[in-house]
């Protein structure tokens, strides 16, 4: 992350325009992290295509290189991971730096705890403020020796020790990172590990582990696996990230006259909430060429712009669209009527407090928006131009950029360097499909 206040990336976006053409977005971030982790743990060579070469997933890749795994990068989005099994993983000599990546840190914490590999995990300013007791508590309950900074925050240090014991654990919040952390610790623990969740969360860990030959049983909100299982190398393709597609879905859906096709988008049922919420708002989105690759559903999405309408977002869709709310707030600002988001308190502990950052930014653009502890109430209408601060959050930065499609004046978005964590070519792709965006450095 660029911490020099004088030299931060910013987006300048002219008002108006519409999105059109055929695009593909970069590989899914959640799956990219997992592909490196599981390939590195497996026995044999794992070939990955569609890997997201964004900073977050690259930090995970570097973590395994630090632990002695050979990973070749034979071409764009391609990895050849030479897995020699978990026995070959070495304790890293230096702390592992995860940058902005909560997924990297939380999943690796469980994985290394289960393997009893001593390590210290660190991150950037944002990650260092994110809550970690949610993973530290269950992992300690499994028998790991752990120390943390104050209030359970990073750096997190694992001290090795005795083999962990499987656990039956009910997570207090719907979180795929917490579920995955516990399952990965359970993979090398003694006995069974069972996780019960209060709501549906993304299930990429379960699906991908099965692809690596691990037995995982899921039923409703319960997931279970036996400890002491080994992974076998495989080949896998990572589809386009629906969370990155979301900015374009919203951008095209809210402007009548737009027609945009986004090919090769991952449409896992636990991730497709943004499509279903936009449809409830009146968006025209067609899914075609539906197929399955590596246990994951993929489709091409075709969006035709329309006037959206405000809705009460159904609670059951919230966790299925949790990363897409910054973009959905912009869709709500364009809609006729009021949109109410509730049950989304997890948005407050993402890379930033996304409820606060989106409320402050949209309000400064003239939107009638009120935040609540677990969401917001957004009255659609006109948006004016202005300068908004993304607060260093990739998803708020890209959402504010799309807001210029419906604004009456230009929008400048500040602090955009972290767009590179998930979407390195965002500006080029957005400009190529009709957003009047350019980038510069403050100085």
For the annotated catalytic residues, the residue numbers are 323
Region of 40-48, 111-119, 142-150, 172-180 interacting with ligand S3P (CB under 6 A): 172-180
Please say which residue, 126 or 334, places its beta carbon nearer to ligand S3P: 126
| Residue 32 interacting with ligand S3P (CB under 6 A) | no
Closest CB 202 distance from ligand S3P, rounded Å: 6
Residue closer to ligand S3P by CB (options 35, 258) is 35
**120 three-state secondary structure:** strand
Q: Which CB atom, from 205 or from 261, has the smaller least distance to ligand S3P?
A: 205
Which of the stretches 144-152, 169-177, 212-220, 294-302 binds ligand S3P when contact is defined by CB under 6 A?
169-177
Q: Which is nearer to ligand S3P, 201 or 412 (CB)?
A: 201
Select the residue interacting with ligand S3P from 142, 176, 252, 333 (CB under 6 A): 176
**N-terminal to C-terminal alpha carbon distance within the chain:** 17
- Cβ neighbours, 10 Å, residue 405: 26
Q: Which is nearer to ligand S3P, 13 or 195 (CB)?
A: 195
- Kindly state whether residue 202 participates in binding ligand S3P, applying the rule CB under 6 A: yes
Q: For 365-434, where are the alpha helices, taking DSSP H only?
A: 394-403, 426-432
Provide the token pair at 68: 């002695």
Size of the site for ligand S3P (CB under 6 A): 12
Q: Which stretch binds ligand S3P (CB under 6 A): 66-74, 171-179, 275-283, 325-333?
A: 171-179
Using rule CB under 6 A, residue 208 touches ligand S3P: no
Distance separating alpha carbons of residues 316 and 334, to the nearest angstrom: 23
Q: Tokens standing for 64?
A: 């395994």
Q: Which of 309, 315, 307, 379 is nearest to 341 (CA)?
A: 315
Residues 368 to 427 in contact with ligand S3P, rule: CB under 6 A? none
According to CB under 6 A, which residues from 291 to 350 bind ligand S3P? 322-323, 346
Quote the least distance from Cβ 176 to ligand S3P, whole Å. 4
Of positions 46, 66, 193, 201, contacts ligand S3P by CB under 6 A: 201
How far CA 8 is from CA of 99, 430, 431, in Å, comes to: 16, 20, 20
φ/ψ region of 314 (left if φ > 0, alpha if ψ in -120 to 50, else beta) reads beta
Our CB check for ligand S3P shows the closer of 220 and 443 to be 220
- Which secondary structure element, helix H or strand E, spans residue 302, and what is its range? strand 296-304
Q: How far is the CB of 180 from ligand S3P (least distance, A)?
A: 6
DSSP string, 335-380: SBSEEEE-S-GGGGGSSS-HHHHHHHHHHHTT-EEEEETTEEEEE-
State the helix-helix crossing angle for 29-41 and 102-115, rounded to 10 degrees. 20
CA-closest candidate to residue 28, choices 251, 403, 297, 215 = 297
Does 180 help bind ligand S3P (rule: CB under 6 A)?
yes
- Is residue 177 within the footprint of ligand S3P (CB under 6 A)? yes
* Pair of tokens at residue 23: 């695009």
Residue ranges in contact with ligand S3P by CB under 6 A: 30, 103, 175-178, 180, 201-202, 322-323, 346
């Amino acid at each position: 992350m660029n911490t020099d206040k004088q030299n931060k990336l910013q987006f300048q976006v002219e008002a108006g325009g519409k999105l059109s053409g055929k695009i593909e977005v970069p590989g899914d971030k959640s799956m990219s992290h997992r592909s490196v982790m599981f390939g590195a743990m497996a026995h044999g060579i794992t070939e990955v295509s569609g890997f997201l070469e964004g900073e977050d997933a690259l930090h995970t890749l570097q973590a395994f290189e630090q632990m002695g795994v050979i990973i070749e990068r034979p071409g764009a989005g391609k990895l050849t991971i030479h897995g020699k099994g978990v026995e070959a993983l070495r304790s890293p000599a230096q702390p592992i730096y995860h940058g902005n990546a909560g997924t990297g840190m939380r999943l690796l914490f469980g994985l290394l705890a289960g393997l009893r590999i001593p390590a210290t995990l660190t991150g950037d300013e944002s990650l260092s403020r994110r809550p970690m007791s949610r993973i530290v508590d269950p992992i300690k309950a499994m028998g790991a020796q752990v120390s943390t900074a104050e209030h359970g925050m990073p750096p997190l240090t694992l001290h090795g020790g005795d083999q962990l014991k499987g656990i039956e654990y009910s997570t207090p919040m719907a979180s795929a990172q917490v579920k995955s952390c516990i399952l990965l610790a359970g993979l090398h623990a003694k006995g069974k590990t069972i996780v019960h969740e209060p709501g549906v969360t993304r299930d990429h860990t379960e699906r991908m582990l099965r692809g690596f030959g691990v037995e995982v049983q899921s039923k409703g909100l319960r997931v279970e696996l036996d400890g002491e299982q080994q992974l076998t190398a495989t080949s896998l393709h990572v589809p386009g990230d629906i969370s990155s597609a979301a900015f374009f879905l919203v951008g095209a859906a809210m402007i009548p006259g737009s027609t945009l096709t986004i090919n090769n988008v991952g449409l896992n049922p636990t991730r497709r909430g943004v499509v279903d919420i936009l449809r409830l708002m009146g968006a025209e989105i067609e899914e075609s060429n539906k197929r399955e690759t590596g246990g994951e559903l993929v489709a091409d999405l075709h969006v035709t712009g329309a006037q959206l309408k405000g809705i009460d977002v159904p609670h059951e869709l919230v966790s299925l669209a949790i990363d897409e709310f910054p973009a959905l707030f912009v869709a709500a600002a364009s809609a006729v009527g009021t949109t109410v988001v509730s049950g989304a308190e997890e948005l407050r502990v993402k890379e930033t407090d996304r409820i606060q950052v989106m409320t402050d930014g949209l309000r400064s653009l003239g939107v009638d928006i009120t935040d609540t502890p677990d969401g917001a109430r957004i009255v659609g209408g006109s948006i004016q131009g202005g300068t908004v601060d993304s607060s260093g959050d990739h998803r708020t930065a890209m959402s504010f950029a799309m807001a210029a499609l419906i604004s009456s004046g230009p929008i400048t978005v500040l602090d955009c360097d972290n767009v590179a964590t998930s979407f390195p070519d965002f500006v080029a792709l957005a400009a190529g499909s009709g957003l009047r965006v350019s980038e510069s450095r403050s100085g």
